[in-house]
Amino acid sequence: MLEKVVIKVDEEVLQQHIMCAESALLDDLLVHGVEMIIGTEERLSARDKEDILYITDSGQEYRALRQNGWYVLPYRHEKNQETDFTGAMYVLERVEEADYGTLDMAYRRLAGLPWEILTTGRCVIRETTVEDVEAFYQIYAEEAITEYMEDLFEDSAEEIAYTRDYIEKVYAFYGYGLWTVLEKESGQVIGRAGITWREGFGLPELGFVIGVPWQRQGYAYEVCSAILVYAGEELGMTQIQALVMGDNRKSAALCEKLGFTESDEQVEVNGKIHMVWRKNI
């Protein structure tokens, strides 16, 4: 968990940019229980580095910290445009626009922790972790689930490897994908939902599966409604599709309730015919 943000940059840049944004950023971090340290010379304990996000504009310091296992966010500004930050997953360019949310997301990606995407009245939607795979196998063990969607790998080791690859490549590149749905009260994994791009199609796709014990309780509608709002407001998407097998009346009914319109188009996916539903968002 992020506990400290340490900022160490050029003194002139510190006065021109950091100090101007300090108050708002400091207040936002404090609300979330995060301490901000600026221009410190204090010795930071390596034991605490897992809870610290270090921001620096020095290429040398960036490389040294990163080599020693620190989570480092390089800061690029008008005075260090030629500085080498090779290998950086993210680069901070407008510190005045930084807030707890953006810094925590950068920290989580660097630390290999899942992003929490959104919450609804009863659910938390977050990025999938390899620890979720065991719960997925329990959900997919129901014939009612795999009747209308592709099953997991038979070998759980392959599914775990696939999940790791998905986290590293899809989440890191797109910033979204198929996520894990948890029941807020119990913390239990109850399904999956999210937005993906299917090869050969020109629109993003809404996907969802809720485990049998939690069906017919409105979870799918609650989660998918929130995801559609997120897709429009946060991802800037204007249209989305859903592919539904012709005899899957439950999913078709949900799509209709969500405001999708069934088109005349049919597509074959994994040897099975699916109807194409679309929605403007």
The predicted-structure confidence for 73-87, as pLDDT tens digits, reads as follows 999 999 999 999 999
CATH topology of domain 116-280: Aminopeptidase (3.40.630)
Question: For residue 136, is pLDDT > 70?
Answer: yes
The predicted-structure confidence for 99-113, as pLDDT tens digits, reads as follows 999 999 999 999 999
29: amino acid identity, one letter: L
The predicted-structure confidence for 38-71, as pLDDT tens digits, reads as follows 876 566 777 778 999 999 999 999 999 999 999 9
What is the pLDDT at residue 276? 98
* pLDDT band per the 50, 70, 90 thresholds, residue 94: confident
Q: Which tokens in the block code for residue 217?
A: 């309780």
Question: For residue 147, is pLDDT > 80?
Answer: yes
Which residue from 127, 131, 102 is spatially nearest to 116, judged by alpha carbons?
Answer: 127
What is the pLDDT at residue 43? 64
Quote the CA–CA distance of 106 and 71 in Å, as a whole number. 9
What is the pLDDT at residue 13? 77
Domain at 4-111: CATH architecture: 3-Layer(aba) Sandwich (3.40)
Mean confidence (pLDDT) of the chain:
93
Q: Which residues are 5's β-sheet partners?
A: 36, 53
What is the pLDDT at residue 21? 62
Lowest mean pLDDT across 4-13, 139-148, 164-173: 4-13
Question: For residue 20, is pLDDT > 70?
Answer: no
* pLDDT band per the 50, 70, 90 thresholds, residue 161: very high
Q: What is the percent of the chain with per-residue pLDDT over 90, rounded to a whole number?
A: 81
Other C-beta atoms closer than 10 Å to the C-beta of 106 total: 21
Quote the CA–CA distance of 16 and 93 in Å, as a whole number. 14
State whether residue 91 is helix, strand or coil. Answer: coil
Backbone angles phi, psi at 22, to 5 degrees: -60, -50
Cβ-Cβ contacts under 8 Å for 175 (sequence gap 6 or more):
235
Quote the CA–CA distance of 202 and 185 in Å, as a whole number. 38
**Domain regions of the chain by residue span:** 4-111, 116-280
* CATH fold match for the domains 4-111 and 116-280: no
What is the pLDDT at residue 15? 76
Quote the CA–CA distance of 251 and 261 in Å, as a whole number. 13
What is the pLDDT at residue 25? 86
What is the pLDDT at residue 65? 93
Look up residue 105 and give its DSSP letter. H
Look up residue 127 and give its DSSP letter. -
For the chain, the straight-line distance linking the first and the last C-alpha, in angstroms and rounded, comes to 34
Quote the CA–CA distance of 92 and 17 in Å, as a whole number. 12
Lowest mean pLDDT across 16-25, 88-97, 163-172: 16-25
What is the pLDDT at residue 40? 64
Handedness of CA 118, 113, 211, 213 (dihedral sign): negative
In the sheet with 261-269, reading across from the earlier edge strand, the strands are: 116-119, 123-126, 178-183, 189-197, 204-210, 239-245, 272-280, 261-269
